[in-house]
């Protein structure tokens, strides 16, 4: 019951109290996770970005709370852009861990059956809670190591596949992004494109207390996609809102 109770509390927390809570929790968090903070600090310096790790953590926290509220069907200010560009029934939606990224899969369920690719945590109770939170009648959870097995069924049944391309434990390819090697999971969307699916690059970011969810690029079926080009697109997203990217994911 711990995670549902915590989610209920956080999901009803006003924004001004959320900011106060972060300031209280951040020094406590660093007592246990100082190595992670130093790791993020090193990544930011290597990328020549004048951003402190605290800014990254604060955005993760606030965007995460808004994601939680969104998944709980609470009112969150969201603006959708360019969604008329994706017309094909069979689509792979690919994004990165930027902004309130947990919102992304939920906006797809209105389009049809959506298969959400996820990586699991070591904590089984947390995994169960997240599954219950993420899954709906139109959203099915697919573990990252299972997705290649289900790809043909997704194509055959004209379903949607949603994947975070910067979450690569299986079959990832490394690209240089902001001066460092980052593994990207692009083989799956490229393979799906060859099999007849269109590939949509979309993202979300917070701007002036509003979340923008925007389709940025659509690759029609059999488009001869270039993975290096996609990596450059992702890099441009991160450069625009570096404080909202989850630097601890790679």
Q: In the prediction, which pLDDT does 168 show?
A: 63
Q: Predicted confidence band at 250 (pLDDT cuts at 50, 70, 90)?
A: low
Is pLDDT at 26 greater than 90 in this prediction?
yes
Q: In the prediction, which pLDDT does 169 show?
A: 61
Q: Which residues of 121-153 are buried (b: 16+ CB within 10 A; e: fewer)?
A: eeeeeebebbeebbeeeebebbebeebeebbee
Is pLDDT at 145 greater than 90 in this prediction?
no
214, with CB counted inside 10 A (0-12, 13-18, 19+), is middle
19: CB partners within 8 A, 6+ apart: 62
Q: In the prediction, which pLDDT does 100 show?
A: 97
Q: Give the max Cα distance, the chain.
A: 51
- 80 touches 216 (CB < 8 A): no
Q: What is the pTM of this model?
A: 0.93
Range of lowest pLDDT (15-29, 31-45, 54-68, 132-146): 132-146
58-82 pLDDT tens trace: 999 999 999 999 999 999 999 999 9
Is pLDDT at 90 greater than 80 in this prediction?
no
Please choose, from the candidates 227, 205, 202, the residue with its C-alpha nearest in 3D space to the C-alpha of residue 217. Answer: 202
Q: Predicted confidence band at 121 (pLDDT cuts at 50, 70, 90)?
A: confident
31-55 pLDDT tens trace: 999 999 999 999 999 999 999 999 9
98-113 pLDDT tens trace: 999 999 999 998 888 9
Q: In the prediction, which pLDDT does 172 show?
A: 75
Is pLDDT at 152 greater than 90 in this prediction?
no
């Amino acid at each position: 019951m711990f995670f549902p109770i915590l989610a209920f509390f956080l999901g009803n927390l006003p924004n001004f109290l959320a900011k106060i809570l972060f300031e209280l929790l951040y020094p406590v968090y660093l007592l246990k996770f100082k190595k992670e903070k130093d790791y993020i600090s090193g990544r930011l310096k290597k990328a020549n970005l004048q951003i402190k790790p605290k800014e990254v953590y604060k955005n993760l926290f606030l965007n995460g709370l808004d994601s939680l509220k969104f998944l709980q069907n609470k009112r969150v200010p969201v603006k959708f852009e360019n969604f008329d560009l994706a017309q094909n029934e069979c689509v792979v939606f690919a994004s990165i861990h930027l902004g309130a990224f947990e919102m992304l899969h939920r906006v797809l369920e209105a389009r049809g059956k959506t298969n959400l690719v996820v990586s699991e945590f070591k904590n089984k109770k947390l995994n169960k809670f997240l599954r219950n939170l993420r899954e709906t009648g139109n959203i099915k959870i697919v573990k990252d190591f299972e997705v290649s097995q289900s790809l043909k069924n997704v194509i055959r049944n004209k379903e949607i596949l949603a994947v975070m391309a910067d979450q690569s434990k299986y079959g990832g390819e490394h690209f240089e992004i902001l001066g460092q090697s980052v593994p990207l999971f692009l083989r799956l969307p490229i393979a799906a494109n060859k099999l007849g699916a269109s590939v949509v690059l979309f993202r979300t970011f917070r701007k002036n207390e509003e979340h923008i969810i925007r389709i940025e690029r659509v690759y029609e079926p059999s488009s001869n996609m270039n993975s290096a080009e996609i990596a450059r697109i992702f890099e441009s997203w991160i450069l625009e809102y570096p404080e909202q990217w989850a630097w601890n994911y790679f």
